[in-house]
Structures are given as C-alpha cells and as structure tokens.
Amino acid sequence: MNWTALLDRLTEAEHQGTVLALATVIDTSHSVPRHAGAKMLVYADGTQFGTVGGGELESRVINESLAALSDQQPRVVTYDLLDPGNGDPGVCGGSVDVYIEPHLPAPQLIVVGCGHIGAAVVDLGHWLGFEVLATDDRDDDRIAEAASKAKTFIAGPIESLIDSVVIRADASIIVVSRNLEVDLAAIPKLLATKARFVGVMGSLRRCRTTRERLIELGVNSDDLARLHAPIGLELNAETPEEIAVSIMAEVISHTRGGDGSPMTDLEDR
C-alpha cells in the first residue's frame, strides 16, 4: 500500500480529532505475509486502512488496537504463525512483532467565562496542548481577545455551547463565570455530560452557596460529588495568570493521577 495514502489518512484524522491506532510490523522471522514496515490504521469502530497480513493475524491486531485505544497505551505484540491448532493465527512458519500506537486527539478544555481569569486559562490551556473551547454571553474587547486564543469560541448562554459541540469524555470543564446565577444555569447541564472533570472557581462561601442551591434545584449527590469547587491548588495565587496556573495544575493532577504534593516530599514515601 502507498505510504503517502496512509500518511494522508493519518493527517486527516489528526485535523478532525479522529481516534485511531497505527499498527506497524517492526520485526519478522522466517516466512510471513508482510515484512517490517507494513502499516495499518485501525479506527475506533474496528474498520481499517492498510494491512499487516490479513486473515486471523490481522483480526488479532485489530482487536489489540482497539484495546490500545481503550487503555490509551502503546504495546508490542508478537504472533507465531506456526500451528492454528494451538491457537496461532496462521501456518506460514514465521513470527511477527507488531507495534501498536494509539493516536488520540488533544483533550478538550472547555472554559465557561472569558473574563481576566478565563482568558488566562484559555491562553495557558492552549500552551499546554489542550483543544480549547470557550464560551461567554458578553460582548466586549476582553472577551474577543480570549476568543481569539481558543480553537473554538461560542458566544451566548451555556446551551449554545452544549448544542454546538460534542463534549467528550476527555474534557475538562472550567467554570470561571462572573456570578452565581451564571454558575447555577451552567453547572447542572455540564455535570450531565461525560466530561471527566468539572471545576468551578469561587470563594469557599460562594461554592458552599452554589452547592446548596444546586441541591435545591434537584442535582443529585452523585453528580455533585464530581464537582471540584473551589477549583485550583492552594498556591496563594493572586494575578489572573497565577490563578490560571493553580487551576490547570489541578486539571493536570486529576488527569494524570497526581496528588499535588511537592516533589521533595516524595523522598519519604
């Protein structure tokens, strides 16, 4: 198969945020259907582009590719093509090593509210490699500046964002709105999405009031347990940029499984 055609498919998937795995034959011995360098793309629905050998071997590589997409971990798998009676995927007489690499889109960062702090979060999230989506129902120069740094900006109430984009399971949602009423309108709808992280900025008092009002609105305890409020790690941050660092530090910690401890404390563990 033409490598250029496969590269075009891979580039297209990157631009469109399509999830897929790239399977590459990296080593072979003796008689095998394809040799080192053979490549195949496997999409999340199990369809493929290219081939690493066909038959049962290829079927197993597709299944392993889907597993790699599920756990987001690359792997090398080895197949002996000796004896189907013992479970081998063929009778060619050789062996094949296949490297499987998941290709995943940049995780979403959704910023609700593009004031001073929201604009700083948009800027930092873009620098960190997130796919940044932002929304605000106001119209002024500060909002326009933040909007210019987001990949996607949706003007209007939170419903406009939810109706316009697919909020994925890898999304982190940051609510940095101007007042409690905006929070109360947005949070129940955001907690109803598959987003892995929903955080709200505010003082302890404001966040306690927000939780009380959400309970009055009928938000259930399981959804409330997902809410990070107030958002951010304690850095004694003051400027919008410092607060953005605090917020994104918690997002990264949550995503990567960290606990926010100073690295010097790890010596005692």
pLDDT in tens, 100-133: 999 988 899 999 998 999 999 999 999 999 999 9
State what percent of residues in the chain have pLDDT above 70.
95
Residue 87 pLDDT = 65
Measured from the Cβ of residue 222, the count of other Cβ atoms closer than 10 Å reads: 8
| Residue listed under structure tokens 């399977």 | 23
- Distance from C-alpha of 139 to C-alpha of 126, rounded to nearest angstrom: 22
The per-residue pLDDT for 251 is 96
pLDDT tens readout for residues 66-86: 999 988 899 999 988 776 766
Mean pLDDT value of segment 20-29: 94
Confirm or reject CATH 3.40.50.720 for domain 108-256, answering yes or no. yes
256-263: long-range contacts, CB 8 A cutoff, minimum separation 24: 260/233
Residue range 173-199: mean pLDDT, rounded: 89
269: pLDDT strictly greater than 60: no
- The mean pLDDT value of the chain amounts to 88
The domain spans of the chain are 3-103, 108-256
Cβ neighbours of residue 68 under 8 Å, at least 6 residues apart?
A: 21, 74, 75, 100, 101, 102
pLDDT of residue 226: 92
d(CA 174, CA 186): 11
**């053979």: which residue's tokens?**
38
Q: Which amino acid is at 14?
A: E
Q: Is 232 left (phi over 0), alpha (psi -120 to 50) or beta?
A: left
Q: What is the pLDDT of residues 49-66, one digit of tens each?
A: 999 988 888 899 999 999
Report the C-alpha gap between 53 and 265 in whole angstroms: 51
| Separation CA 207–CA 100 (nearest Å) | 44
Give the chain as a 3 state SS string.
Answer: CCHHHHHHHHHHHHHHCCCEEEEEEEEEECCCCCCCCCEEEEECCCCEEECCCCHHHHHHHHHHHHHHHHHCCCEEEEEECCCHHHCCCCCCCCEEEEEEEEECCCCEEEEECCCHHHHHHHHHHHHCCCEEEEEECCCCHHHHHHHHHCCEEEECCHHHHHHHCCCCCCCEEEECCCCHHHHHHHHHHHHCCCCCEEEECCCHHHHHHHHHHHHHCCCCHHHHHCEECCCCCCCCCCCHHHHHHHHHHHHHHHHHCCCCCCHHHHHHC
Indicate the residue type of 86: N
Query: What's the pLDDT at 1?
Result: 60
pLDDT tens digit sequence for 128-158? 999 999 998 887 777 777 778 898 999 888 8
In this structure, the chain runs to a length of 269
Range name among 109-118, 138-147, 163-172, 197-206 with the lowest pLDDT average: 138-147
